[in-house]
Amino acid sequence: MKLALGPILYYWPRDRVLDFYAQVAQWPLDIVYLGEAVCGRRHELRLPDWLDIAERLQQAGKEVVLASQPLIESESDLKLLRRLVGNGRFSVEANDMAAVRLLHAAQLPFVAGATLNVYNPALLGWLQQLGARRWVAPVEMAQADLTDLLSQMQSPPQTELFAYGRLPLAYSARCFTARRDNLPKDDCQFRCLEHADGLPLATREGRPFLTLNGIQTQSAGVYNLLPHVQPLRASGVDILRLSPRSAHMEEVVRAFRDRLEAAAPLADALARAERAQPGASCDGYWRGRPGMEWSLSS
Amino acid sequence: MPERTLQLICPAGSLPALKAAVDEGADAVYIGFRDATNARAFAGLNFDDGTAQQGVRYAHERGARVLLALNTYPRAGNWQRWTAAVDRAARLEVDAVILADAGLMAYARRAHPQLALHLSVQGSATSYEAINLYREQFGIRRAVLPRVLSLAQVENVVKHTEVEIEVFGFGGLCVMVEGRCLLSSYTAGDGPNTCGVCSPAKAVRWSETPAGLESRLNGVLLDRYGAQEKAGYPTLCKGRFEVAGATYYALEEPTSLNTLDLLPQMQAIGIAAIKIEGRQRSPAYVAQVTQVWRAAIDACRAAPHAYAVKEQWQSQLNRVAEGQTHTLGAYHRPWK
């Protein structure tokens, strides 16, 4: 099983992003997804910058994939998507059917992203025909459903699973970070830059519930499949995706690597990953439960 | 090209609601079967084969069409229930099925080549590139747009596709892209994509507390109401939450969509159909709303430049909308 690093879902200043990927080059990762996969207004880095980073990571031995935006609204979003698809060097993760159409038309193999809502073999088979060489399961996928799905495929594309990080739960035309500060989205003043791990949302009794990240709404809980890594090896999953957080991400990567190689007890790996974690762990989805639940809660 | 006339598509969660919509002048009604194959899988709602057959006959005899929503995502383990639903729809001779899942579209195209296909709002297609993929692959006739685009963006979609474009005009408002919202399954287990429900009633608890009336979803406090406040159905995204020291409707107010004001523009940019949300609503609600929208569309068609929203329409709608506030949603840019 391979380890992948998902795209940075937050909006970090340019230097921070460059520093981060200089470190990533040294981490025990097989695949790195790059690019802005949340909001079209974020442009601390532009496509040529991402391609530079991609080049360096490739030289460090990583497979690099460029992530496309999950929500396409305007003609300029499409223009950016066409440039991404036509980059000529790196493969693309299609996070919307618009990307699937363009990639198929260009006869380029692609990764079918989690927002394409692949829940059954017929849809996966169709995407495979169009050029999907890998797919990422919807984050709400349960182990039982994934096992069913894969058991009905003759030769499925590579299967990737979101295994660590705050869950990307929803997308909107509205920017909730701008809304918090009573700013219109068109004049958001890039407030997302102030929240390196998103903006926490709690219930009226103070219980952490969600995380606002611009037009994306994430869980407050941090999805954490560390307890399931060993059984996962038998379930047909080829790749685990870890989603970047602002601090001590290397610890998370190494905790998963240790568990993959059974080189550390679960308790040690968990302690390592949960250090400086921006929220409590959860793993409900994988167990067919509400996503926010955690199997090891006392 | 012939001028497109704006069609009125009304919700029917029961045979009486279907009859009410047809009687009041809906061009088409949309219905669902009584299970998780559609996005309003609520107890006591929807159609079995018998009532669906009666409904289709009733509508067809009066020149109205029937669209059947099969707009949730089947899983490997329950796939046959969805394909069987497509077969049932074909037997019932509905005028189109509304699908979200491309795997199911492939099945429908193969098994029932005559069955017209619409792309559901749950398919999350927000651009002509996405819509044209479904056109090339499955010959879809119509796509329903998620409630995220401004009118200018809708116009751009219409210009770049042969597929008819349907938009939501009135009723409940999803603040998230339809088909891309897992808030309900994260909190309560069941969600729209695979179960056809949002903030499911079985997970809702109301309780009177010293701090006020509280609504919870699977234990998560969604809102707390003071004595003077009106408490609506606790939809997850319309609760009040705390963000950076402020307590407010962090995602969306408990408001609903009303685009009567935009009708002439919607007609002018070539939208094919306006959809009214609300299969969970009563026949009386459906009758009132259909009546108003029929009158508005007729007035707009007859004289678009002289069109103005009548006070009587608004008061009729306000009567059934339980005093809710209305918004133009994403069609109007400042909402974003």
Across the interface, do B177 and A173 touch by the CB < 8 Å criterion? yes
Q: Which of B322, B289, B278 is nearest to B173 (CA)?
A: B278
Question: Tens of pLDDT along chain B (336 residues)?
Answer: 334 589 999 999 999 999 999 999 999 999 999 999 998 888 889 999 999 999 999 999 999 999 999 999 999 999 999 999 999 999 999 999 999 999 999 999 999 999 999 999 999 999 999 999 999 999 999 999 999 999 999 999 999 999 999 999 999 889 999 999 999 999 999 999 999 999 999 999 999 999 999 999 999 999 999 988 888 889 999 999 999 999 999 999 888 899 999 999 999 999 999 999 999 999 999 999 999 999 999 999 999 999 999 999 988 988 887 656 788 888 887 888
State the SS3 of B74-118: CCHHHHHHHHHHHHHHHHHCCCEEEECCHHHHHHHHHHCCCCCEE
DSSP B248: E
As a whole number, mean pLDDT of residues A230-254 equals 94
Using CA atoms, how far residue B57 sits from A25, A75, A121, B51, B54, in Å, is: 65, 43, 35, 10, 5
B179 to chain A: nearest residue by CA? A117
**For residue A252, how far is the Cα from the chain centroid?**
14
Of A101, A170, A200, the CB nearest to B133: A101
Across the interface, do B181 and A176 touch by the CB < 8 Å criterion? no
Across the interface, do B175 and A169 touch by the CB < 8 Å criterion? no
Least confident piece of the model among A72-81, A221-230, B227-236: B227-236
Q: Domain B7-173+255-335: what homologous superfamily?
A: Aldolase class I (3.20.20.70)
Quote the pLDDT of residue B48: 96
B128 to chain A: nearest residue by CA? A98
Every domain of chain B with CATH number 3.20.20.70 lies at 7-173+255-335
Across the interface, do B104 and A122 touch by the CB < 8 Å criterion? yes
Tell me whether B333 touches chain A (CB under 8 Å).
yes
State the smallest CA–CA distance between residue B307 and chain A in angstroms. 29
Residues 259-278 of B with CB under 8 A from A: none
DSSP B270: T
Quote the pLDDT of residue B331: 85
Strands, DSSP E only, in B145-196? Answer: 164-171, 176-181
pLDDT, tens only, A14-63: 999 999 999 999 999 999 999 999 999 999 999 999 999 999 999 999 99
Of A122, A169, A285, the CB nearest to B103: A122
B174 to chain A: nearest residue by CA? A172
User: What residues of A are in contact with residue B189 (Cβ under 8 Å)?
Assistant: 284, 289-290
Of A77, A104, A145, the CB nearest to B75: A145
Across the interface, do A172 and B177 touch by the CB < 8 Å criterion? yes
User: What residues of B are in contact with residue A172 (Cβ under 8 Å)?
Assistant: 148, 175-177, 251
Size of interface A-B (CB pairs under 8 A): 215
A149-153 long-range contacts, Cβ below 8 Å, gap at least 24?
A149/A119, A149/A120, A149/A121, A149/A124, A149/B75, A149/B76, A150/A235, A150/A236, A151/B76, A152/A121, A152/B76, A153/A121, A153/A124, A153/A125
> Residue B176 is which amino acid?
M
Across the interface, do A96 and B126 touch by the CB < 8 Å criterion? yes
Tell me whether B130 touches chain A (CB under 8 Å).
yes
Across the interface, do B74 and A186 touch by the CB < 8 Å criterion? no
> What is the rounded average pLDDT for all residues in chain A?
97
Helices (H), B168-304: 183-188, 192-195, 263-268, 283-302
Q: Is the pLDDT of residue A237 over 80?
A: yes
Judge residue B303's burial from the number of C-beta atoms within 10 Å of its C-beta, 0-12 exposed, 13-18 middle, 19 or more buried: exposed
List of residues 6+ apart from B249 with CB closer than 8 A? B238, B239, B240
Across the interface, do A204 and B107 touch by the CB < 8 Å criterion? no
Quote the pLDDT of residue B43: 85
Quote the pLDDT of residue A233: 81
Interface residue of B147, B180, B253 to substitute, partner A, most A CBs within 10 Å: B180
State the smallest CA–CA distance between residue A113 and chain B in angstroms. 12
B183 to chain A: nearest residue by CA? A169
Angle at B123 between CA B118 and CA B128, to 5 degrees: 75
Quote the pLDDT of residue A235: 85
Q: Which residue has the tokens 């955690």?
A: A294
Give the C-alpha separation, B37 to B43, whole Å: 13
Of B127, B176, B221, the CB nearest to A172: B176
Across the interface, do B188 and A78 touch by the CB < 8 Å criterion? no
Across the interface, do A120 and B246 touch by the CB < 8 Å criterion? no
Confirm if B47 and B313 have CB atoms less than 8 A apart: no
Across the interface, do B77 and A96 touch by the CB < 8 Å criterion? no
Residues 12-71 of B with CB under 8 A from A: none
Give the C-alpha separation, B110 to A218, whole Å: 38
User: What residues of A are in contact with residue B182 (Cβ under 8 Å)?
Assistant: 138-140, 167, 169-170, 291
Quote the pLDDT of residue B3: 46
Confirm if A167 and B182 have CB atoms less than 8 A apart: yes
Least confident piece of the model among A190-194, A196-200, A230-234: A230-234
Tell me whether B180 touches chain A (CB under 8 Å).
yes
Q: Which of B285, B234, B9, B236 is nearest to B120 (CA)?
A: B9
Interface ipTM > 0.90: yes
pLDDT, tens only, A123-181: 999 999 999 999 999 999 999 999 999 999 999 999 999 999 999 999 999 999 999 99
Give the C-alpha separation, A258 to A231, whole Å: 15
Quote the pLDDT of residue B323: 57
Domains by residue range for chain A, with CATH = 2-287 (3.20.20.70)
State the smallest CA–CA distance between residue B108 and chain A in angstroms. 12
Tell me whether B195 touches chain A (CB under 8 Å).
no
Confirm if B251 and B279 have CB atoms less than 8 A apart: no
Of A72, A184, A285, the CB nearest to B126: A72
Quote the pLDDT of residue B292: 97
State the smallest CA–CA distance between residue B119 and chain A in angstroms. 12
Across the interface, do A291 and B241 touch by the CB < 8 Å criterion? no
State the smallest CA–CA distance between residue A196 and chain B in angstroms. 14
Interface residue of A169, A188, A297 to substitute, partner B, most B CBs within 10 Å: A169
